Amino acid sequence: MTAGEPPVADEPVALPVSESRVLHEGRVLDLVSETVDLGVGGRVTREFVRHPGAVAVVALDEQGRVLLLRQYRHPVRAYLWEVPAGLLDVPGEPLVDAARRELAEEADLTAGRWDTLVDYYTSPGGSDEALRVFLARDLADVPEDARHTRSEEELGMRTAWVPLRDAVQLVLGGAVHNPSAVAGLLAAQAAQAQGWAPLRPADAAWVR
């Protein structure tokens, strides 16, 4: 960048929407059609998936390993290795509390330290889903009598503790495709290389 140029940063904007309707109301996600005024670009109609948002967790233990979970994802007809994650489906719940809940439910773990690792839109051309990935450290097991009872795709999930460097190589080698794992693992390696300086507080400002 040269002097005087505006900073490179995403810029939220509320362009005029003349029509908005739900084409299909689903159990969790809705399909929406909206007509938006782009100014010189004219009015256009766009269809997209309306999503409540989600959180994900890169859980890093004292040995420098990250936790990966193997879960079936029907839309892509594949078992994917992922990091713990879940929907923001509890109204008013702070993001980090949602992350704590998901880490406990999916991995039987708690964490003593939480930081914001990276935020991203999963598919901004077709969905309004925003996702925050947290870094969780100082891990401990949830007592057995307090553990969540899993069902459906979460039942019988395989787990693997993988050194962070090796997990990044799985991403770069095309073995891991889940977007939260891809973004979270690469961001974790980048932050670790800088002594964790880029990490933001767990309650950092959220795009929503």
96-146 confidence digits (pLDDT tens): 999 999 999 999 999 999 999 999 999 999 999 999 999 999 999 987 776
Whether 116 and 135 map to the same domain: the answer is yes
154-205 residue pLDDT tens: 667 899 999 999 999 999 999 999 999 999 999 999 999 999 999 999 999 9
User: How big is the chain, counted in residues?
Assistant: 208
The domain in which residue 139 lies consists of 54-201
pTM of the model: 0.90
| CA distances for 108 relative to 45, 75, 136, 142, angstroms | 44, 26, 13, 5
Question: Encoding tokens for residue 130?
Answer: 């925003």
For range 56-65, the mean pLDDT:
98
Q: Are 68 and 60 contacting, i.e. CB atoms less than 8 angstroms apart? A: no
Q: Which residues are catalytic?
A: 154
Whether 44 and 144 map to the same domain: the answer is no
Whether 111 and 32 map to the same domain: the answer is no
Question: What residues contact residue 140 under an 8 Å CB cut-off, 6+ apart?
Answer: 109, 110, 111, 112
Whether 66 and 144 map to the same domain: the answer is yes
Whether 90 and 102 map to the same domain: the answer is yes
Whether 63 and 150 map to the same domain: the answer is yes
Residue 4 in any domain: the answer is: no
Whether 36 and 96 map to the same domain: the answer is no
Q: What is the pLDDT of residue 146?
A: 64
Strand boundaries in the chain, DSSP class E: 17-25, 30-37, 43-50, 54-59, 65-73, 78-82, 85-87, 109-121, 130-141, 158-163, 200-201
For range 34-41, the mean pLDDT:
89
Whether 31 and 88 map to the same domain: the answer is no
Residue 100 in any domain: the answer is: yes
Q: What is the pLDDT of residue 154?
A: 60
Residue 207 in any domain: the answer is: no
